[in-house]
Chains A and B, each alone.
Chain A
Amino acid sequence: MPGEERTERWPLVSLLEAPDARASWGPPVTIDLSDARDRDLVQRIRRRDGEAFRGLFGRYAPSAMAIARRVVRQPFLAEEIVQEAFLAVWRNPEGYDQARGSVRAWLMGMVHHRAVDLVRREESQRRRAEESQLTETTVVEDPAAQVVDEIGLPEEREAVRGALAELPPEQRQVIELMYFDGLSQSKIAEKLSLPLGTVKSRTLLGMRRLRGRLAGMER
């Protein structure tokens, strides 16, 4: 199957192998100041403040690029997706509703949605096996800039990785295949030779656990 080819070439490397992924993690991290800063940036973008846009881009483009590349596998397509998402923020900052979630989740959701949309459109015609350009993910190299841009984000990464680490492996597997590899639940059922209902139930159970860990975090 095309989907299998894609995954065989890029075998699922559990995110838990990432550095510090199994670092100790305790109760949900309080990151309200971090998101308050983000909300302020969005407010300023609504007033057409270019520096605020630069700030939001500098803070989140590296994470946006990471998820876009992971899903679409092609760096130049990932750039298109990230650019589109940030331009959408600039053009319609009113799209963010503080009552419905954090700025970072809103932004990354847009990036992920676009990436999955691209993969699905491609799938509908032919899944190409051209992932050779995927490079190892690279940590941003400008430590000075990172000090400013990364406020609150290391804690966020630790919390998310911790929440994933806590999932039973079978739940984590389907969620990773779905979210990070852009596979639909039917493709996953096919790939893992599981009934579709099993994939659904594992996904729901895993997402409920993640919701308990992440959605309750202060924004």
Chain B
Amino acid sequence: MRSHEHIEELIAIRAIGGLDAGELDELEREMREHGPDCSECRRLEDEYGEVAGRLAFALEPVAVPDAFAERTIQLALGEREAPARRARGGSLRALIGVAAAFALFAGGWLIGGAVTGDPNVPPDATVVALQGDPGGGTFTAAYQPGQSGLYLLGSNVPALPEDKVYELWLFTGDTPASAVCGTPSEDGSLFEFVDASLEGVGLMAITVESSSCPGAPTTDPIFLGEVTA
């Protein structure tokens, strides 16, 4: 068991986001060795956590767009549900047309600042709320047409068994290509960046797959979204 000074170093650096994955594991091991009743460990976590949280106030505050503020508050208060519809049954191929219809009629598209009203959103940024299982959280994809790369953001996403992952597929025509696999954090959030060209891609879908992250989908999609160039 290492000293509290070593743990303090790891805790202090973790608090401000500086640890790499391996060091996070090291800290977890050290903390386990000290046990859940280690009051000194807890004190260090609390105090450095307090420091880290407060460092944010060194920055000047940023104006929050009214539309964003209202959207967030309404989401929280349940007065407005995130756009979502269940995609039922059928193969991936059969659902391609359905996804296109969802995108057209379900109001799932938010095209950059023109719709969001936020002048800070890149004018060509496209944010797509994927259509899917209302009980399965929400998935949003963000990308800039003509540029490679896509962000996938999940919220309130249900946890999966250890041997399962969420897998994102990018369709060129009827052909799916595995884009990324991921699992949500404890709080149900999921962030993934897909380093891939979107050229020719017309549809994205999310399935639940084995943790081996297979190269072809084996289950029906639970979320779908259309990609426009």
Residues on A lying within 8 angstroms of B by beta carbon are 15, 18-19, 50, 53-54, 57-58, 61-67, 69-70, 75-77, 79-80, 82-84, 86-88, 90-92, 100-102, 104-109, 111-114, 116-118, 121-122, 125-126, 128, 130, 133, 135, 137-141, 153, 156-157, 160-161, 164, 175, 178-180, 182-186, 188, 200, 203-204, 207-208, 210-211, 214-215
Residue of B nearest to A19 (CB): B60
Q: Min CB distance, B42 to chain A, in Å?
A: 8
Q: From DSSP, what is the main secondary structure of chain B's interface residues? A: mixed
Contact with A along B188-229 (1 / 0, CB 8 A): 010111110000000000000000000000000000000000
Q: Is B40 an interface residue (CB 8 A)?
A: no
Q: Is B61 an interface residue (CB 8 A)?
A: yes
Q: Decide: A135 near B185, CB < 8 A? Known: A66-B61, A109-B52, A214-B54.
A: no
- Which residue of B55, B116, B151 contacts A160 across the interface (Cβ within 8 Å)? B55
Q: Min CB distance, B78 to chain A, in Å?
A: 9
Q: Min CB distance, B205 to chain A, in Å?
A: 20
Query: Chain A residues near B194 (CB, 8 Å)?
Result: 125
Additional A-B contacts beyond A61-B69, A61-B72, A137-B59 (15; CB < 8 A): A53-B77, A65-B61, A76-B122, A77-B153, A84-B187, A100-B45, A100-B46, A105-B50, A105-B54, A109-B49, A112-B53, A133-B120, A160-B54, A185-B19, A185-B20
Query: Chain A residues near B60 (CB, 8 Å)?
Result: 18-19, 66, 137-139
- Which residue of A79, A87, A210 contacts B51 across the interface (Cβ within 8 Å)? A210
- Distance between Cα atoms of A200 and B149 in the complex (Å): 33
Q: From DSSP, what is the main secondary structure of chain A's interface residues? A: helix
Docked-complex contact A87 and B120, CB < 8 angstroms: no
Most buried by B among A18, A109, A125, A200: A109
Q: Min CB distance, B48 to chain A, in Å?
A: 6
Residues on B lying within 8 angstroms of A by beta carbon are 8-9, 12-13, 15-20, 23, 45-65, 68-69, 71-73, 75-77, 116, 118, 120-122, 125, 127, 140, 142, 144, 147, 149, 151, 153, 155-156, 185, 187, 189, 191-195
- Distance between Cα atoms of A161 and B60 in the complex (Å): 11
Q: Decide: A87 near B72, CB < 8 A? Known: A53-B77, A67-B59.
A: yes
